[in-house]
Amino acid sequence: MTRKGRRLTLIASALTVIAIAIGLALFAFRDGVVFFVTPTDLAAKTAELRPNARVRIGGLVQPGSVERGSNREVSFTVTDNRTDVKVTYQGLLPDLFREGQGIVAEGMLVNGVFKADSVLAKHDENYMPREVADSLKQQGVWQHGGEGPKK
């Protein structure tokens, strides 16, 4: 075998090993990846979801939908102002959780009800760090109705 032939064989072998490693890594991550969807996306993809598929759903807690049961059980509705999804959760809710507030819940869809095992409340979308707001003011770009940054 010539020197060129050995080099070509070595490169082909290395590329094969790298391709197999990437394939195995992607296969391992397949079940660990949790996708973020809106209630409308979830309703559209319900038939496509694998049984016990983990999903993150995000939206607003619909006002008037929070019902507290016994043993820290809570049910509420998450909406994106087009589609509503009933969510049940057992545990302590975050301090920022309230009606009309944005949340992200992770869990799975069971018989049309989203059973969450974790709930995260989102901060106000108008929040901006003081340093960024001050920098924007100095540049004359501040567009928050003339008010200062929220703390």
Distance CA 54, CA 142 (A): 40
For 81-110, the pLDDT digits (tens) are 888 999 999 998 888 888 888 888 999 888
Tens-digit pLDDT profile for residues 49-63: 777 788 888 888 899
DSSP 29-73: HTTT--EEE-HHHHHHHGGGSPTT--EEEEEEEPTT--EE-STTE
Question: What is the model's pLDDT at position 36?
Answer: 75
User: Model-level pTM?
Assistant: 0.62
User: Was domain 35-121 assigned CATH 2.40.50.140?
Assistant: yes
Determine contact, residues 103/121, Cβ cutoff 8 Å.
Answer: yes
- Structure confidence by residue, pLDDT tens digits, 21-46: 999 988 887 766 666 788 888 888 87
Question: Domains of the chain: which residue ranges?
Answer: 1-33, 35-121
Burial tier of 87 (Cβ tally within 10 Å: 0-12, 13-18, 19+)? buried
The confidence score (pLDDT) of residue 15 equals 97
Rounded to whole angstroms, the Cα distance separating 147 from 31 reads 46
